[in-house]
Amino acid sequence: MHTFGHRLRRAMRHFGPLCVGIDPHPALLRAWGLNADVDGLETFAEICVEAFDGQVALVKPQVAFFETYGSGGIAVLERTIGVLRGSGTLVLADAKRGDIGSTMDAYAHAWLGDGPLGADAVTVSPYLGFGALAPALDLAAANRRGVFVLAATSNPEGAQVQRALVDGRAVAQAMVDAAAERNAGAEFGAVGVVVGATLTDAPDMSRLNGPVLMPGVGAQGGGPESIRALLPESMFHAAVPNVAREVLGAGPEVPALRAKVAELQDVFGFLQH
3-state secondary structure at position 119: coil
For the chain, the structural domain boundaries read 4-272
Q: Is 96 known to be catalytic?
A: yes
Beta strands in 182-231 (DSSP E): 191-195, 212-214
Q: How many CA atoms lie within 13 A of 112 on its CB side?
A: 29
pLDDT for 220 equals 74
pLDDT for 273 equals 74
Residue 150 and residue 93: Cα distance in Å, rounded?
13
Residues 243-247 have a mean pLDDT of: 94
Q: Are 131 and 174 in contact (CB under 8 A)?
A: no
Query: pLDDT category, 272, cuts 50, 70, 90?
Result: confident
The per-residue pLDDT for range 136-168, each reduced to its tens digit, is: 999 999 999 999 999 999 898 999 999 999 999
Q: Which residues contact 155 (CB under 8 A, 6 or more apart)?
A: 196
State the CB neighbour count (10 A cutoff) for residue 177. Answer: 17
Homologous superfamily of the 4-272 domain (CATH):
Aldolase class I (3.20.20.70)
pLDDT for 31 equals 97
Residue 216 and residue 32: Cα distance in Å, rounded?
22
The per-residue pLDDT for range 189-228, each reduced to its tens digit, is: 999 999 999 999 999 999 999 999 999 887 777 899 999 9
Catalytic residue among 10, 96, 144, 258: 96
Q: Are 193 and 148 in contact (CB under 8 A)?
A: yes
